[in-house]
């Protein structure tokens, strides 16, 4: 702030020598950050000439630097009582009000400063930041556009607007304004990073990689830039390069839990369990409450009743952007299609007849498969990002963001004709409660369709694995289930099995993952709408 005042105090008015001399002395002390002496000189000048506005300003500024805000406000308001057109004084009062947590007062003074002095660069910057902090995003956008008109060659103001529209998911706008920022300031590495983020969101993967590489060429020691490039390389199918980039990010910032976790994910996907667990253990060292502890337990041979909600939410929030394409194209996932075929064999209802509960609906792949038969389709998922994708399909009557068992417990008994759950129960080991809640929510004759991964097949092919009678947590973080356990659980909860198909539920690390697609009916007689 000291440097700002040096340009503000202005020319000296015609004044009698004593107060002018005192002002000069005060200014000299202020320029040397000798605030006590400056305050003393300005106060003496005021006693000589109380109407000398510049010494009130100098006094107020010195008191602000001493963080004596109440006294500073009194001095600055006295200056305004002499001359209310002083934009610099309004700016100082805005700064002081902000320091006193008076956001409304600060906004008012910064706004007044700009009314009096439309090309007041400092006021634009501080008012913009304050409006954002106050949640006044639209006002901030209007202001920063005015600032750009006033200062068209300000890379900083284009940067601010680029960030703002990025946060509003206007990724093309973000690319535009950060592009202007780097045109004005070619070394603006963070603008290249954010342009890369915007291209990544738009799935312009080649462009994203180019932007990240440019950011790294400017600032090669920035770990975040290497991690962003790693994610873009992975999304482009370049796993080896992604691994190298994550390793470089971790080398630059060893306590980066996120980079360690993502590197672990890629290594696990490639079958490097030893490398993956090393990364995951490092994550847990850095973040003892991290959901990744579930994977550490899985890879250490431990068992548990279900995956923690935090683990599932984190996994699918990060997976949402590329979920559909990766699941269908890479993992050759066709469970929704197979499920409809299974339902057809059990006689589907007429179009638009069923009330359907989609448990762990994800992006809505399975919901879309049964939508033609539903009069009502309700979905629940732990991942907010997945639900955003599901909502965009426009097929759901209602979507709930919570744990599926919690949601089921809150629903009215006997309110659904069908419950479906594809590639979801693999994150639950013990199934008693979900079967019990499904039985409660389904009407008599209601159907429960779901997919599971097969413990029996794995045990047959790998007899050296530790024995597990009912279900086992595997190194993938998912559970496999024994057919006998599922049968016992369904029967004991008032269901009868209508059909079961052994099938390949996905391809992982180039190998088929065996599983079941099952259709059960709630006992009590057939009472479904036809």
pLDDT digits (tens, 9 = 90+) for 285-326: 998 888 788 888 888 777 778 877 877 777 777 755 654 444
> Cβ neighbours of residue 341 under 8 Å, at least 6 residues apart?
none
Q: Is residue 313 part of a domain?
A: no
Q: Which pLDDT value is given to residue 348?
A: 62
Q: Which pLDDT value is given to residue 331?
A: 44
Co-location of 261 and 388 in the same domain:
no
Q: Which pLDDT value is given to residue 292?
A: 81
pLDDT digits (tens, 9 = 90+) for 34-57: 999 999 999 999 999 999 999 999
Q: Is residue 189 part of a domain?
A: yes
> Cβ neighbours of residue 193 under 8 Å, at least 6 residues apart?
211, 212, 215, 222, 224, 225, 228
Q: Which pLDDT value is given to residue 267?
A: 93
Co-location of 65 and 196 in the same domain:
yes
Number of H helices, E strands in the chain: 27, 9
Q: Which pLDDT value is given to residue 158?
A: 97
**Ramachandran bin of 403, using left for φ above 0, alpha for ψ from -120 to 50, beta for the remaining angles:** beta
Four-CA torsion 452, 457, 458, 464, nearest 10 degrees? 150
Q: Is residue 299 part of a domain?
A: no
Co-location of 16 and 144 in the same domain:
yes
Query: Structural domain of residue 342, as residue ranges?
Result: 324-522
CA atoms of 494 and 489, how far apart (whole Å): 9
**DSSP, res 448:** E
Q: Which pLDDT value is given to residue 330?
A: 46
CA atoms of 199 and 236, how far apart (whole Å): 13
Spatial CA neighbour of 55 closest among 16, 94, 104? 16
Q: Is residue 261 part of a domain?
A: yes
Co-location of 269 and 122 in the same domain:
no
Co-location of 13 and 147 in the same domain:
yes
CATH number of the domain enclosing 187: 1.25.40.10
**For residue 416, which phi and psi values (nearest 5 degrees)?**
-130, 150
Distances (CA, A) of 416 to 354, 373, 438, 529: 8, 13, 9, 11
Co-location of 337 and 352 in the same domain:
yes
Co-location of 211 and 224 in the same domain:
no
Q: Which of 290, 309, 333 is the last residue of a domain?
A: 290
Number of domains the chain is built from: 3
Co-location of 9 and 51 in the same domain:
yes
Q: Which of 198, 216, 234 is the last residue of a domain?
A: 216
Q: Is residue 303 part of a domain?
A: no
Interior/surface letters 336-367, b for 16+ CB within 10 angstroms, e for the rest? bebbbebbeeeeebeeebbbbbbbbbbbbbbb
Q: Is residue 42 part of a domain?
A: yes
Co-location of 39 and 181 in the same domain:
yes
Co-location of 171 and 285 in the same domain:
no
**DSSP, res 328:** I
Q: Is residue 68 part of a domain?
A: yes
Q: Is residue 179 part of a domain?
A: yes
Co-location of 134 and 243 in the same domain:
no
Q: Which of 183, 216, 249 is the last residue of a domain?
A: 216
CA atoms of 420 and 396, how far apart (whole Å): 14
CATH number of the domain enclosing 470: 3.40.50.150
Co-location of 203 and 285 in the same domain:
no
**Tens-binned pLDDT, residue by residue, of the chain (530 aa):** 545 554 545 445 544 568 899 999 999 999 999 999 999 999 999 999 999 999 999 999 999 999 999 999 999 999 999 999 999 999 999 999 999 999 999 999 999 999 999 999 999 999 999 999 999 999 999 999 999 999 999 999 999 999 999 999 999 999 999 999 999 999 999 999 999 999 999 999 999 999 999 999 999 999 999 999 999 999 999 999 999 999 999 999 999 999 999 999 899 888 898 999 999 999 999 988 887 888 888 887 777 788 778 777 777 777 556 544 444 444 455 788 888 888 888 766 666 789 999 999 998 989 999 999 899 999 999 999 889 999 999 999 999 999 999 999 999 999 999 999 998 999 999 999 999 999 999 999 999 999 999 998 755 444 444 445 899 988 888 899 999 999 999 999 999 999 999 888 776 666 778 899 999 999 875 444 44
Sign of the alpha-carbon torsion through 366, 425, 499, 501: positive
């Amino acid at each position: 702030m000291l440097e700002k005042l040096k340009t503000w105090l202005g020319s000296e008015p015609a004044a009698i020598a004593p107060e002018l001399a005192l002002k000069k002395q005060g200014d000299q002390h202020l320029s040397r950050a000798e605030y006590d002496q400056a305050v003393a000189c300005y106060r003496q000048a005021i006693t000589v000439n109380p109407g000398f506005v510049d010494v009130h300003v100098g006094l107020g500024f010195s008191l602000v630097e001493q963080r004596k805000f109440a006294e500073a406000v009194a001095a600055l308001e006295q200056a305004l009582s002499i001359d209310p057109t002083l934009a610099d004084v309004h700016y100082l009062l805005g700064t002081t009000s902000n320091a006193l947590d008076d956001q409304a007062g600060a906004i008012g003074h910064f706004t007044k400063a700009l009314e009096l002095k439309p090309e007041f660069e400092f006021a634009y910057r501080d008012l913009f930041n304050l409006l954002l902090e106050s949640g006044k995003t639209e006002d901030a956008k209007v202001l920063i556009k005015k600032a750009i008109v006033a200062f068209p060659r300000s890379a900083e103001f284009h940067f601010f607007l680029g960030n703002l529209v990025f946060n509003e998911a206007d990724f093309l706008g973000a690319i535009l304004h950060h592009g202007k920022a780097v045109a004005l300031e070619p070394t603006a590495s963070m603008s290249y990073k954010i342009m890369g983020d915007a291209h990544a969101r738009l799935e312009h993967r080649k462009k994203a990689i180019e932007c990240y590489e440019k950011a790294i060429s400017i600032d090669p020691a920035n770990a975040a830039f290497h991690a962003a490039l790693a994610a873009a390389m992975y999304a482009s199918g370049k796993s080896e390069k992604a691994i190298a980039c994550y390793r470089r990010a971790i080398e630059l910032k060893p306590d980066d839990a996120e980079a360690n976790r993502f590197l672990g994910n890629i290594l696990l996907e490639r079958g490097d369990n030893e490398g993956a667990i090393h990364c995951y253990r490092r994550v847990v060292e850095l973040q003892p409450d991290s959901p990744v502890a579930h994977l550490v337990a899985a890879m250490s041979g431990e068992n548990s009743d279900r995956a923690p909600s935090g683990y599932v939410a984190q996994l699918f929030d990060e997976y949402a952007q590329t979920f559909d394409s990766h699941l269908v194209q890479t993992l050759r996932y066709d469970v929704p299609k197979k499920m409809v075929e299974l339902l057809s064999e059990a006689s589907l209802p007429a179009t638009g007849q069923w009330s359907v509960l989609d448990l762990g609906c994800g992006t809505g792949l399975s919901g879309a498969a049964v939508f033609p038969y539903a009069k009502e389709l309700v979905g629940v998922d732990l991942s907010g990002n997945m639900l955003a994708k599901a909502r965009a399909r426009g097929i759901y009557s209602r979507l709930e963001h919570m744990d599926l068992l919690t949601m089921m417990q809150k629903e009215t008994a006997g309110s659904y004709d069908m419950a479906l759950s594809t590639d979801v129960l693999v994150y639950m080991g013990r199934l008693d409660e979900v079967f019990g809640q499904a039985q409660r929510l389904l009407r008599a004759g209601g159907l429960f369709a779901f997919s599971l991964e097969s413990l029996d097949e794995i045990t047959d092919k790998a007899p050296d694995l530790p024995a597990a009678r009912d279900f086992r947590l595997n190194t993938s973080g998912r559970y496999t289930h024994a057919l006998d356990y599922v049968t016992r659980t369904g029967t004991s909860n008032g269901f009868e099995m209508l059909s079961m198909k052994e099938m390949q539920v996905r391809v992982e690390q180039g190998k088929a993952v065996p599983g079941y697609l099952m259709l059960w009916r709630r006992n009590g007689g057939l009472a479904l709408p036809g």
